[in-house]
A and B are shown apart, each in its own frame.
Chain A
Amino acid sequence: MPAPGSVSEAQFFETVLHCVADGVFTVDCDWRITSFNRAAERITGVSAERAVGRRCSEVFHSDLCERGCPIRETLETEQEVIDRSARILTKRGRSIPISVSSAVLRADDGTLLGVVETFRDLSTLEQLRREITSRYTFEDIIGRSEAFQKIFALMPDIAASESTVLIEGPSGSGKELLARAIHNLSQRRTKPYVVVNCGALPTNLFESELFGYERGAFTDARRDKPGRITTAEGGTIFFDEVGDLPLETQVKLLRLLQEREYTPLGSVETRQANVRMVAATNRDLSTLVSQGRFRDDLYFRLAVVRLTIPSLARRREDVPYLVEHFIHSFNAKQGKRIQGVTPAVMEILMRHEFPGNVRELENIIEYAFVLCRNGLIDICHLPDELKTPLGRGDLVPARVSALEESEASAIRQAVLRNRGHVGRTARELRISRTTLWRKMKKHGIRRDDLRCVQDDAEP
């Protein structure tokens, strides 16, 4: 309680509410919001000004609004609801998990005023859990490009069907993520998801690994060993890098695909395979077929449904969304509060070729997280190869002489060494500040670069 004469009781409680990390709001008996604290604003993305006076369902868009509304339950039973799991939609259309508690609000005379609800953002927890369990859905696939829109449009049908899916795309483009999403959306999602890396499996072990063996099948086969197909029973088996399979093993996989049956080594019994098959490759299988290095009958069996993920360089419009996603992900994992990247960094990333695709972008952001303590990721936090003129695309004029390039490089290094301080950089280079500014302009060394280093240098 406030000390007499200091602040009013209302002010006291308002200050306390605004300092609470959990979202807190109150509603009247018509579900209209009467107060909304700062954490609630932060979690939902809706300002208190907009929220107050509106029905809570219009602000939270929760899965509980129609089934299992805790406010309704509290109003009807006058009992508290504690830690009920729910999902809400933020203003930006992102679904986040929360836990909700509610209790009745009464006036001094016992009149029912409404309900107070508190909610906790569990998105960080959920993300970490997903990382551990790999329970990705297609909501985890980040892509706004036309190529991904086509894939998204097919997802409801692919998930509902039992057809074999072939995912083509360069290394690091997210083929396995897509395969997992297909499994997690399908009716088989409660059953196992088994990955077979065809490139890493020795030819002579392929059959025993895939189909298993029985005791006595060969020397040292002292007990039955189930194969990957048996392990994946009822679920999905994912053949990664299927294009790397040697010809002699392709025929074994073909039989499995055709007949949906297999025989473990040393067994005389043929077993039915109740698995859905998804395969991925970073090679152009049709070219391999024409070269005679991949069986055409296997190719056509695999490519019942064919999804192609283009390289990141061919869908640059996805880069900003991926950057946002990775920043959100690393913030959760590393407990940081990095807000984003500077326009200069985004420009570099938008021009970069990304030979390593999405995985490379993820690594770049992870590297930047090591150097950047808070605020925005800037050029100084990027790996060296991105700071070079090659990495920075045409920020620096392409036709510069070697001498000019050396000058630009020397200035850039000096700027970095002096943590963006123009005066110190000019002194080190023994030129005036004016000359330094002019040369920086000439070589396309941006003022933003300096700001970043200065900001970051502050404790």
Chain B
Amino acid sequence: MRLAPRQGCNLEVRNVRIAIPRMGETVAPCFEYCCTMAIYTTTGRHILDQIDFPIRSREPLDRVRLLRDQKVDTLICGGMQDVFEKMLQGSGFEVISWVSGSVEDLLDMYLRGRLVPGTELPEHGGAGIPGEGRTTEH
């Protein structure tokens, strides 16, 4: 049974697609050469599903196309060339780059609205140092 939304109360929370290039349990060191792209569908602070896309190609643009095809909203990644960052931002993606640490912890920080570019998390979780890694203009 579906509940009709009450007037003045927005019950619709938009699904957000988040991509994180991963190397095992940690974020991959370089977006352009990552071998696995994990794509999460989230709503609010909840993860609805996760799909891991293995990538064999060494062509960086294939990763950009994958993000487009999968209608990704946000990319959370480790290192990336400036040119790709500008390209993705120009295409309307939110890019949070030069982060490091566990994928799970980074995603959790993002969903709580605390993840900023350059965040470095210790490998086994913890407070981390937001924005300590690299100065990125956003």
Using CB atoms and an 8 Å cutoff, list the residues of chain A in contact with chain B.
57-58, 60-63, 65-67, 87, 89, 91-95, 138-139, 144, 148-150, 152-153, 155-156, 159-160, 185
Contacts and interface: CB of A to CB of B under 8 A. Distances in A.
Nearest 5 A/B pairs, CB to CB: A61-B79, A149-B90, A153-B90, A93-B82, A63-B33
Contacts of B78: 58, 61
Contacts of B35: 66-67
Interface in B85-134: 85-87, 89-91, 100, 120, 134
B93 to A, nearest CB: 10
Interface string B11-37: 000000000000100001110111100
B87 A65 contact: no
Contacts of B85: 93
Given A58-B29, A58-B120, 8 more contacts: A57-B29, A62-B33, A65-B23, A65-B33, A66-B29, A87-B33, A93-B79, A155-B87
Given A63-B58, A66-B28, A159-B61, A89 B80 contact: yes
B65 A156 contact: yes
B68 interface: yes
Contacts of A144: 86
B3 interface: no
Most A CB within 10 A of own CB, among B29, B58, B87, B100: B29
A93 B80 contact: yes
B89 A149 contact: yes
A61 B61 contact: no
B64 interface: yes
Most A CB within 10 A of own CB, among B33, B35, B68, B89: B33
Interface in B50-98: 58, 61, 64-65, 68, 78-83, 85-87, 89-91
B22 to A, nearest CB: 10
B114 to A, nearest CB: 20
Given A66-B34, A67-B35, A159-B61, A139 B29 contact: no
B28 A153 contact: no
Contact of A61 (B29, B65, B87, B90): B29
Most B CB within 10 A of own CB, among A89, A139, A148, A160: A89
Contacts of A91: 134
B120 to A, nearest CB: 8
Contact of A153 (B23, B91, B134): B91
A62 B61 contact: no
A150 B87 CA distance: 8
Given A65-B30, A89-B30, A93-B85, A155 B61 contact: yes
Contacts of A156: 61, 64-65, 68, 87
Contacts of B29: 57-58, 60-62, 65-66
B61 A58 contact: no
A60 B100 CA distance: 12
Contacts of A92: 82
Contacts of A62: 29-30, 33
Nearest to B23: A66
Most A CB within 10 A of own CB, among B28, B30, B90, B100: B30
A94 B82 contact: yes
A152 B30 contact: no
B37 to A, nearest CB: 12
B90 A160 contact: no
A159 B57 CA distance: 15
Contacts of B91: 153
Contacts of A95: 32, 81
Given A66-B28, A67-B35, A152 B83 contact: yes
Contacts of A60: 29
Contact of B86 (A58, A94, A149, A160): A149
Contacts of B58: 63
A153 B87 contact: yes
28 contacts: A58-B120, A60-B29, A61-B30, A62-B30, A63-B30, A63-B33, A65-B30, A66-B28, A66-B29, A66-B34, A67-B33, A87-B33, A89-B30, A89-B79, A91-B134, A93-B79, A93-B80, A93-B81, A94-B81, A94-B82, A144-B86, A149-B87, A152-B90, A153-B90, A153-B91, A155-B87, A156-B64, A160-B61
Contact of B23 (A57, A148, A160): A57
Nearest to B63: A156
A324 to B, nearest CB: 12
Contact of A185 (B33, B61, B100): B61
A91 B135 CA distance: 9
Nearest to B123: A55
A139 B65 contact: no
A66 B78 CA distance: 13
Nearest to A143: B86
A92 B35 CA distance: 23
Nearest to B21: A66
B78 to A, nearest CB: 6
Nearest to B36: A66
